[in-house]
Structure 1
């Protein structure tokens, strides 16, 4: 009888003529003589390409979101550097977590022909610039280096090697095209805020005396959809990503991600022409990737998401250190994906958790029992007064499907301290209501929600004070009212 050692030796010498299968897979990979079967070859390449596409979808979502916004703004009549848009964040505007706390304006800028200057007047302006990679470029006005005193900002195109003059706040984006989101506090009413924004000047660094003043399109009361929802689960998502990759400089730190895209046929300088197989994979990745981001964003399970251990409120932004989601030599990709799935624009001033920050955002998607908020139910939110805001505060309600302000017969999605809630408090506590109908006596402190629709909210504080961060003040949770 052979010994166990002899049996082991004989087994090692046996030819690998049998088919070996991976265990536990729903459609296992199969190999014969060490080589993959034809079915395995097809399955592996499909799986690898789908994995590349899923990773790329989540990583480039903020870039595509910004590219789509650029394209929609062009269609709505904006002209880079010359014709800009005045807006108000009402439910008529479908855009991720926009607010109606202040009037604002969108300014498209293109540095393809050289540096551009943005000249701000003194006044209560809050502004931020992001490029088409949706990366922070600069804060202007109150949160910026001019501190609301006005000043000239110079934006240099990527790779600029010319002489930089003195007397400017200087910033360099990673793309030639930028979006400046301009906001003005309505201290004298919305019309005064619009007038202040229209006094902003935009011109080339080297410009002639006849360079025209900006024109302004008033779209404050008009309906429009500038969110990427219509394309985010379709092949068009990848087409617009290719458009961005093909038209802007490559970003060195994205090299590995560009490599993933190249394997999918998305390459700078080459047409986007996926065959039927690749189209199927890209569409599946867009659909699944979007669903994955929805879970990460609206059903976050990270321990650091909670603003307070005894509340359901979450930090809308998980990384407060900077506007780039960087921490300890890495990028917090989960935090980046959570934010950009539900919001547009990044800025250190928006993220900072310290007194003196421009603003502070908390996300509320669950009631005090941990259930997701339901449009068919009525909820009460108790807000202790005074709210620690040097400027103002608000609560805004968003549709969980569109991540835009809810649509209702009120045409109202926000309760604001400067408007609806002026003087509204009861023994030091304001009671706000959300549901299909208003409780008697609280009609001015109520937002109408729609049965059959989920919703979430942002609690915003502008000019937050120390107790907003140290636990000395906190709002209640949403409580269902039977």
Structure 2
């Protein structure tokens, strides 16, 4: 295939050069969209968290996720707390965890992992004082702290407590006993938690992910944060598009149109990675429709030997939020496993207007608990229906009959009338909308890995 660029006396002809510039800008915009989607997503989390009543360095949002909460693949299994830390204002900040079944992490403004806390962290659930250092901090780190450095001023602190034995009150009490305060001059008792469980909350970039608003938010972040060395090339790409720290973002009409189109196409391409990937390693078991959500179990940075796994990164951030090594581990007894189903046993996408059955062999190999959660394909958030729920959870619903070797779960627009008890094991879906499911196992046991235990596929009921 020859170049479409025409030359005159070995120099690019002007009309061809203009065409080449437009095509180059389009390609740059698409690559930048994919690369910086996690950045815009995290900034959206920050804005949604503040809108729910949280305040940087002062109060976190506490929530037991419900369908009213728009957030990428949030689940109703555990209470969450999300807090925004502003290290420019506070300096180094301490996150002090008590002993107990807490799971936490800190990610920077680009949604890059900083540190794990609690059970998957260096304190291993025994409690500890984690210290988040700001960019370019060059003072000695005092003893007695588990220190980690952020490359950005803004940090997301994400925590959850496991409600062992179904004791939700105890989990919330443990979660709200976490203390957050500046290293220098901070009061450990000032940090609070604001409960947003009964409020509508949106922590997603859905409103801007397919339009010019994406680039406006990205410019604000780039302008506010120090440059990260590993992002130099992509920051240069943004600069060519008029998105540069210290400079106003004033795209021409043509550039604005190009950027809006690139956002719409980039979003669609990321959804292809999420739900129509061609990667063979996404499949969990031969002959089953279940897929791994995370494709890089060895780390939280999507690195593979010699390169960044861009498909794995796109796939994750199109569906989910935050990343850490603990989230992707595939090890007996450690963390949790996330499996995705977006197709039925016949290979068709799950349709909110059809009825399905899912057979789950018992016992499920979970040392803690397990759950099935349904998400809307467009919002990547819990399905919203008149039923008002999107999850079936072994901790809170009676979905595992004593002595049974399997249980059937039901999904569809209308409440099933048979067999007996089916309505108690049913999640309502919305006609005309696609949906997908996450199967989560907390404290996975060996059969979850060796193939001796496998959930069935979704089977359409006629």
Superposition TM-score, scaled by structure 2 size:
0.96
Task: Supply the RMSD in Å over aligned alpha carbons.
Answer: 1.6
- Judge conservation of contact 1:425–1:431 (CA < 8 Å) in 2: no
2-side partners of 1:48 and 1:451: how far apart? Answer: 41
1:242 aligns with 2:219: yes
1:457 aligns with 2:437: yes
The within-5 A match list for 1:117-196 is 117-187=94-164, 189-196=167-174
In the TM superposition, residue 361 of structure 1 has moved relative to its aligned partner by 0.3
Matched, 1:107 2:83: yes
Residue in 2 aligned with 1:205? 183
1:463 CA displacement: 0.8
User: Which residue in the other structure is 1:386 paired with?
Assistant: 363
Query: Which of 401, 406, 414 in structure 2 is aligned with 1:424?
Result: 401
Matched, 1:320 2:300: no
Aligned match of 1:4: none
Aligned to 1:14: none
Q: Is the 8 A contact 2:52 2:196 kept in 1?
A: no
> Can you list the C-alpha shifts for 1:351-404, whole angstroms capped at 9, x where unaligned?
011113211100100111111111111111111111111110001000001111
CA distance in 1, matches of 2:93, 2:12: 57
> Which residue in 1 is equivalent to 2:323?
346
Q: 1:323 and 1:143, CA in 2 relative to 1: closer, same or farther beyond 3 A?
A: same
Give the Cα–Cα distance (whole angstroms) in 2 for the partners of residues 35 and 92 of structure 1: 59
Partner of 2:21: 45
State the 1:422 CA deviation. Answer: 4.6
**Distance across 2 between alignment mates of 1:332 and 1:37:** 38
**What is the aligned length?**
457
Which residue matches 2:231?
254
Deviation, structure 1 residue 217:
1.4
Q: Distance in 1 between matches of 2:292 and 2:33?
A: 24
Q: Does residue 283 in structure 1 map to residue 263 in structure 2?
A: no
8 Å contact from structure 1 (residues 133, 174) kept in 2: no
- In the other structure, the counterpart of 1:480 is 460
Of residues 269, 273, 294, the one that matches 2:250 is: 273
Distance in 2 (CA, whole Å) between partners of 1:377 and 1:41 is: 52
Matched residue, 2:269: 292
- Deviating more after overlay: 69-78 vs 398-407: 69-78
Query: Is 146-155 or 311-320 further displaced after alignment?
Result: 146-155
The aligned residue for residue 425 of structure 2 is: 445
In structure 2, distance between residues paired with 1:394 and 1:125: 18
Report deviation, 1:95: 0.4
Report the Cα distance in structure 2 between the residues aligned to 1:428 and 1:323, rounded to whole angstroms.
Answer: 36
User: CA offset at residue 211 of structure 1?
Assistant: 6.1
Structure 2: give runs of 5+ residues left out of the alignment: none
Q: Which residue of 2 aligns with 1:468?
A: 448
Q: Distance in 1 between matches of 2:92 and 2:215?
A: 30
Going from structure 1 to structure 2, the CA distance change for 1:364 and 1:376 (only over 3 Å counts) comes to: same
Q: Deviations over 1:400-455 (max 9, x none)?
A: 01111111111100010111235436731011111112322201111011110100
CA contact (8 A) 1:97 1:403 kept: yes
Task: Tell me, in whole angstroms, the C-alpha distance in 2 between the residues paired with 1:150 and 1:272.
Answer: 45
TM-score of the superposition, structure 1-length normalised? 0.92
Aligned to 2:42: 66
Q: Partner of 1:57 in structure 2? A: 33
Q: CA deviation at 1:212?
A: 4.8
1:176 and 1:425 mapped to 2: Cα distance? 51
Tell me what 1:228 maps to. Answer: 205
Contact 1:385 1:425 in 2 (8 A): no
Q: 1: CA distance between counterparts of 2:438 and 2:13?
A: 53
> Does structure 2 conserve the Cα–Cα contact (< 8 Å) formed by 1:350 and 1:357?
no
Matched, 1:376 2:376: no
Structure 1: segments with no counterpart, 5+ residues: 1-21
* 2:58 match: 82
**Alignment deviations for residues 73-118 of structure 1 (CA, whole Å, 9 cap, x no partner):** 2333321111211111110000000000011111111211311101
Secondary structure of 1:307 counterpart: coil
User: Contact 2:302/2:313 (CA < 8 Å) preserved in 1?
Assistant: yes
